[in-house]
């Protein structure tokens, strides 16, 4: 009972904070098993999302519909203009946030999302609802908002609308009631989310999340103490001190309760007091305050828009920052999706920009802190918008001073974000681990016996007269060749073992034949056809491209994978190579490419005016030995592996470039039974799923065994 009494005396905010702390402790104590609690958090998230779009629908319709024509004409255009200017300023602020994200070296394995077809941007489907019920069910927020706005504006002119207005009000109140019931589950939901996150997130991930939190807090402070009060101070008769002191009570109350709804009457009252103090109170300004405060509540506030900064953080977090060409989509879609809850907007935007959906869990973990700042900013936003529009209605708003205040704010934000970035890079420890991660990789399965073969020795004339497969089986050994630029298909790891995608396949091939392996590195300029023909090698691996000219000298096995054409380019220039259109716009462009005339001709069809420089050693390019070459046309699968060793480079697939090249093993000519056996083995291992496992391990970097179980008190301290 004492515990129950203690809980009932706590405020909702205190309960959530305690739940957060207990959840984090539970995750640290239990470790990875705490991830199973995440299902409770998922239920809580869905309950939060359940009422959002219906509430947006009825609140916007009702808020606009209760205006009359005369009042709407006086207030509408001025309110729209003020709100649009403020939204634009806040979205411009968000675009400056990435300046604070530390320029940490990051690189990763090839990702299937790099070649996934991006969902086409369909303006009509996204913004024009042919069926509002379909838009509601599919969570298409912009379409729902547009429908609500048009419906609300139309309702202004409708006679006898009181019944409908009452209905929307009652439905909105009912939905708020449901939301309040769900809000009572907040401690349980936050506990589950934080326990699951703390039990499964790596320490490095938690370290990066604090980057978002510090940048968010800095941005919130700038918006709350520079942007919003500065607009009032410079553009209206009200002073900086007046707005902060008058709004202070409402802001603190909103912070404590976690909702702006409860302070709407307070905002109305305090705004009228300020207007009266400056002799600005009249019927027009009173009507403006009475209508605008509850109506503006249905529109995105400064605090709401600030939450969209998580999308920019998420893109930085996964090592794929949004390009400049994506900023317009971010600004437009962000402002429209913000009409709903962040619980709807963030997942929608993550999906739109091809960012991992599980990043939403990080957002929710941080939202326990950020949501309070957002609520306080929303309350202050209500004051500022209302006073700006009221001043504009009686022509006491200085529009040019308003714009000056915005430019001053953006200049200050620019400087502060750079300073925050320097501070975070200095204070938060970070070390790039990609090189160690890649070079320390070991084979998936136990390797077969390795027989030393350090010198290339041709077969005798008598042996050459026999079928190669017979020689291999009698010798109980297969001679395998590779070169030193075959990442991630064949390379030496830190302990000197030859490993990689192709090595894994050939190891299983030898195991199935019951023979041993001899693996030897060959020079790049070696005559591969001759080495295979004279028996020095039985097979050459390393992700070799199939080309018509090469097929005249060697026999290719069946293709077992593809190279996806992309470019290796300095990370600082990745935006310049985001699309073929962008590449064509670069003057005097010099691209490196391999020696295959077949693929050189294909590239020329895509980029007819680009200079091509033949480069056969990717390592030389990455080391800067080819000055004047802007980028290298290269396999994105292989290029991603190289970027882990050279993280200042990026592997990029330009949009509109659709080119895949099949790869295969090189076999000697004239050995039909041998080639047939290799192809049969490849087909078998493709059908039984082995090739897919090897692909996921070596190309996508999905290595469950390499991931050590999370440290936990229960397992590592108490040994339970």
pLDDT at 539: 97
* pLDDT at residue number 204: 54
Number of domains in the chain: 3
- Residue range(s) defining the domain that contains residue 615: 564-662
Establish whether the linkage from the previous residue to 139 is cis, with ω within 30° of 0. no
Tell me: do 458 and 412 sit in the same domain.
no
Global confidence as pTM: 0.69
d(CA 414, CA 344): 29
In this structure, are 648 and 682 located in the same domain? Answer: no
Work out the mean pLDDT of the chain and round it to a whole number.
Answer: 84
Average pLDDT score over residue span 586-594: 91
Q: Is residue 230 part of a domain?
A: yes
Average of pLDDT values for 653-675?
Answer: 92
Q: How far apart are CA 74 and CA 591, in angstroms?
A: 60
List, for residues 185-241, the tens digit of each pLDDT value. 778 877 887 787 777 766 555 566 788 889 999 999 999 999 999 998 999 998 888
pLDDT score for 218: 94
User: Do residue 117 and residue 195 come from a single domain?
Assistant: yes
Determine whether 412 is exposed, middle or buried from the number of CB atoms within 10 Å of its CB (0-12, 13-18, 19+).
Answer: middle
Residue 623 lies in a domain: yes
Other Cβ atoms within 10 Å of 413 Cβ, number: 25
Whole-number percent of the chain with pLDDT over 90: 33
Q: What is the three-class DSSP state of 561?
A: strand
> Are the C-beta atoms of 376 and 224 separated by less than 8 Å?
yes
How many angstroms separate the CA atoms of 698 and 493, rounded? 13
Q: What is the DSSP string of 283-332?
A: HHHHHHHHHHHHHHHTS--HHHHHTTHHHHHHHHHTT-PPPHHHHHHHHH
Whether residue 450 sits in one domain with residue 461: yes
Give the integer Cα–Cα distance in Å for 9 and 83: 40
Whether residues 655 and 546 share a domain: the answer is no
Q: Of 399, 432, 465, which residue constitutes the final position of a domain?
A: 432
515 and 416 within one domain: no
Which range has the worst mean pLDDT, 80-94, 496-510, 704-718? 704-718
Per-residue pLDDT reduced to its tens digit, 103-149:
776 767 777 666 655 555 555 776 677 888 888 877 776 677 778 87
Q: Nearest to residue 144, comparing CAs of 230, 255, 53?
A: 53
Give the pLDDT band (50/70/90) at residue 53. Answer: confident
Q: What are the Cα distances from residue 549, in Å, to 204, 264, 584, 587, 664?
A: 48, 76, 29, 32, 15
pLDDT for res 257: 55
Query: Does residue 341 carry a pLDDT above 70?
Result: no
The answer to whether residue 714 sits within a structural domain is no
SS3 state at 675: helix
* SS3 sequence of 224-255: HHHHHHHHHHHHCCCCHHHHHHHHHHHHHHHH
Instruction: Give the pLDDT mean for 353-378.
Output: 78
């Amino acid at each position: 009972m004492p515990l129950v009494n203690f809980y009932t005396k706590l405020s909702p905010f205190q309960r959530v904070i305690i739940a957060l702390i207990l959840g984090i402790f539970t995750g640290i104590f239990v470790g990875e098993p705490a991830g199973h609690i995440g299902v409770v958090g998922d239920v809580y998230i869905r309950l939060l999302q359940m009422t959002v779009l219906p509430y947006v629908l009825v609140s916007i319709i009702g808020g606009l519909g209760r205006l009359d024509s005369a009042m709407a004409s006086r207030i509408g255009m001025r309110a729209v203009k003020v709100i649009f200017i403020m939204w634009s300023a806040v979205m411009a602020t968000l675009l400056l946030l990435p300046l604070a994200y530390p320029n940490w070296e990051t690189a990763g394995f090839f990702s299937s999302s790099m070649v996934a077809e991006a969902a086409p941007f369909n303006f009509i489907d996204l913004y024009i609802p042919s069926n509002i019920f379909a838009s509601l069910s599919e969570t298409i927020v912009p379409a729902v908002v547009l429908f609500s706005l048009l419906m609300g504006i139309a309702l202004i002119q409708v006679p006898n609308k009181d019944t409908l207005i009452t209905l929307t009000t009652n439905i909105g109140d009912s939905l708020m009631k449901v939301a309040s019931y769900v809000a009572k589950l907040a401690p349980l939901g936050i506990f589950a989310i934080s326990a699951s996150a703390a039990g499964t997130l790596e320490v490095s991930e938690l370290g990066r999340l604090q980057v978002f939190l510090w940048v968010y807090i800095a941005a919130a402070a700038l918006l709350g103490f520079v942007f919003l009060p500065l607009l009032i101070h410079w553009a209206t008769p009200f002073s900086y001190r007046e707005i902060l002191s008058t709004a202070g009570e409402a802001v603190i109350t909103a912070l404590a309760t976690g909702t702006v709804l409860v302070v709407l009457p307070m905002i109305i009252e305090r705004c009228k007091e300020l207007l009266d103090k400056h002799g600005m109170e009249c019927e027009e300004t009173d009507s403006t305050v009475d209508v605008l405060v509850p109506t503006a509540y249905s529109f995105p506030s400064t605090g709401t828009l600030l939450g969209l900064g998580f999308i920019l953080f998420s893109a930085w977090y996964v090592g794929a920052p949004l390009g400049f060409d994506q900023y317009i989509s971010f600004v437009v879609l962000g402002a429209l999706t913000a009409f709903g809850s962040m619980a709807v907007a963030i997942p929608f935007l993550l999906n739109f920009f091809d960012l991992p959906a599980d990043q939403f869990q990080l957002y929710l973990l941080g939202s326990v802190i950020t949501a309070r700042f957002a609520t306080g900013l929303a309350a202050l936003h209500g004051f500022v918008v209302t006073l700006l529009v009221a001043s504009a209605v009686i022509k006491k708003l200085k529009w040019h001073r308003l714009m000056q205040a915005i430019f001053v704010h953006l200049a200050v934000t620019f400087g502060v974000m750079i300073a925050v970035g320097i501070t975070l890079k200095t204070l938060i420890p970070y070390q790039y681990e990609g090189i160690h991660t890649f070079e320390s990789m070991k084979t998936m399965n136990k390797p077969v016996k390795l027989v030393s073969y350090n010198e290339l020795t041709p077969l005798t004339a008598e042996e050459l007269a026999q079928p190669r497969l017979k020689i291999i089986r009698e010798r109980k050994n297969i001679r395998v060749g590779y070169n030193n630029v075959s990442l991630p298909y064949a390379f030496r790891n830190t302990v000197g073992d030859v490993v990689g995608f192709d090595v894994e396949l050939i190891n299983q091939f030898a195991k199935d034949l019951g023979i041993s392996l001899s693996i030897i590195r060959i020079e790049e300029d070696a005559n591969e056809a001759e080495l295979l023909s004279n028996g020095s090698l039985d097979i050459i691996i390393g992700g070799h491209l199939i080309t018509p000219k090469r097929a005249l000298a060697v026999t290719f096995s069946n293709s077992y994978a593809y190279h996806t054409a992309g470019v290796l380019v300095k990370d600082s220039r990745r935006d310049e190579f985001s699309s073929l259109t962008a590449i064509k716009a670069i003057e005097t462009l010099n691209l490196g490419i391999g020696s295959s005339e077949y693929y050189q001709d294909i590239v020329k069809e895509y980029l007819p005016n680009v200079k091509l420089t033949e480069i056969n050693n990717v390592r030389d390019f990455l080391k800067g030995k080819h000055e004047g070459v802007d980028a290298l046309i290269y396999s994105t699968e292989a290029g991603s592996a190289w970027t882990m060793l050279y993280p200042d480079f990026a592997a990029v697939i330009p949009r509109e470039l659709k080119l895949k090249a099949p790869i295969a093993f090189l076999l000697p000519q004239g050995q039909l039974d041998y080639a047939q056996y290799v192809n049969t083995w490849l087909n078998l291992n493709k059908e039984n799923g082995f090739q897919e496992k090897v692909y996921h391990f070596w190309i996508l970097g999905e290595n469950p065994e390499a991931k050590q179980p999370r440290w936990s008190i229960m397992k590592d301290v108490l040994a339970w």
